Amino acid sequence: MMRKVSLIVLSAAAGAALTLFVTQPRSVLMGSSARAATSDTYRQLNLFGDVFERVRTDYVEKPDDSKLVESAISGMLTGLDPHSSYMDAKSFRDMQVQTRGEFGGLGIEVTMEDGLVKVVSPIDDTPASKAGILANDIITNLDDEAVQGLTLNQAVDKMRGPIGTKIKLKIIRKGQDNPIDVTLVRDNIRVRSVRSRTESDDIAYIRITTFNEQTTEGLKKSVSDLQSQIGDKLKGYIIDLRNNPGGLLEEAVTVSDAFLDRGEIVSTRGRNAEETQRRSAHPGDLAKGKPVIILVNGGSASASEIVAGALQDHKRATLIGTRSFGKGSVQTIIPLGSGNGALRLTTARYYTPSGRSIQAKGIVPDIEVLQDVPDELKSRTDTKGEASLRGHLRNGNDEKTGSQSYVPPDAKNDKALKMAEDLLRGVKINASSPPASNKAAIEKPANKAAN
């Protein structure tokens, strides 16, 4: 029987997944050593059973059996590495929503302030924007239930729901004497993982915040819109991946493919040689040969590093900023059946086209640019990276940790962005600057041993 699982690249902090592939069951030849190992395993399982039964009968209060089992599974997985874990049914559903980038809701970006939900901004053309919800509005009640006392996630869960259903919000707005009651009808909301703008009328700036199912589509739309706005004056593209924690492997591949005509994008290698997979680019360059610069920093992880590594190895882009996070592993999502959640299991490492593993090392930019950090933030602007995580997959003796992740809120103070603009306009010249077209893909080494 064939088993469907989901292949993804997770962010350093939280993950996402639903790119399905099919795996064949492995055949097993049972030798004497295997039988001995199996026997030892059964002894350990008997030990677990003894402990489980003793806790059930002798613990000071009657425990919940299902919670005991979940905790045992969770402990087993988190003991493997920082990115393997057990997700209960709710966590699994939340992860699916996150990676789809699409859900039934209101279209409001929110944060928590003083125990109340504050609107960061309404998303264009959604129930919230159509109803006149404004940035800085404070939501105090949801369907007559006070928000005070709820966590941000709990409040967001209440605002989401089936498309076509109603919810009433009580809002406090600066300048209004009385609270405002607004009834909204939930609609299909798409999370914007790609935002774009023009820089001084001749450079296309594209910010990718995560890699969900909407990312490649959003990238293509942004490129098309920017090409129409800028026209023949277009000098090149700045792709901002700073503090992007990652997401779907498939989206990282298709985003990379958008700027490459040919060549390998990434390879994934598991414990067994037959599990090695290679992903390659297809003809067609979305940027039409224009130079590409990628901004990275200590918060650029996982899928972001796949894109940065592929375009750097193929000399299709110049990387500017600080060393990336260094998460070079792939997680597989294994559903456990209705109501039982799923396993998030590290099953492979990934390698850039030249065969390098960035696990616990990160990607070093072609041009390092350190930002000027305000004194009050200096102790909080460095990301320790994968190599600092307890139980991380080891990668030789030259692991790297600690990299700046601060991005100035005002673009005029952003030194990395300024450097990128100067390179594209020819104000500054660097040997790592991308060529005018992607004519020559790198030559792959003849032998690449799986690690």
pLDDT at 122: 84
Is the pLDDT reported for residue 367 higher than 50?
Answer: yes
> Which part of the chain has CATH 3.90.226.10?
194-425
| Residue 39 designated active-site | no
Yes or no: is domain 106-190 CATH 2.30.42.10?
Answer: yes
> Exposed, middle or buried, 315 (CB in 10 Å: 0-12/13-18/19+)?
middle
Give me the percent of the chain exceeding a pLDDT of 90: 66
CA atoms of 306 and 327, how far apart (whole Å)? 10
pLDDT at 401: 86
> Which part of the chain has CATH 2.30.42.10?
106-190
| Residue 327 designated active-site | yes
Is the pLDDT reported for residue 104 higher than 60?
Answer: yes
Is the pLDDT reported for residue 440 higher than 80?
Answer: no
pLDDT at 345: 95
Closest among 268, 328, 297 to 82, alpha carbons compared: 328
Kindly state which CATH superfamily the domain 194-425 is placed in.
2-enoyl-CoA Hydratase; Chain A, domain 1 (3.90.226.10)
Amino acid identity, residue 421?
Answer: E
CA atoms of 378 and 424, how far apart (whole Å)? 30
| Selected catalytic residue, list 85, 222, 302, 433 | 302
> Exposed, middle or buried, 446 (CB in 10 Å: 0-12/13-18/19+)?
exposed
Non-local CB neighbours of 334 within 8 Å, separated by 6+ positions: 5, 6, 342, 343, 344, 345
Is this prediction's pTM over 0.75?
yes
For the chain, the 3-state helix, strand and coil shares in percent, each to the nearest 5, are 30, 25, 45
| Selected catalytic residue, list 240, 257, 261, 313 | 313
Task: Give the pLDDT confidence of 382-391 residue by residue, as tens digits.
Answer: 888 999 999 9
Phi and psi at residue 122, to the nearest 5°: -80, 145
Q: State the pLDDT confidence band at 432, using cuts at 50, 70 and 90.
A: low
Amino acid identity, residue 204?
Answer: A
| Selected catalytic residue, list 170, 290, 327, 361 | 327
What mean pLDDT comes out for the span 330-357?
93
- Are 329 and 377 in contact, with CB atoms under 8 Å apart? no
pLDDT at 36: 64
Task: Give the pLDDT confidence of 133-168 residue by residue, as tens digits.
Answer: 998 899 999 999 999 888 888 898 899 999 999 999
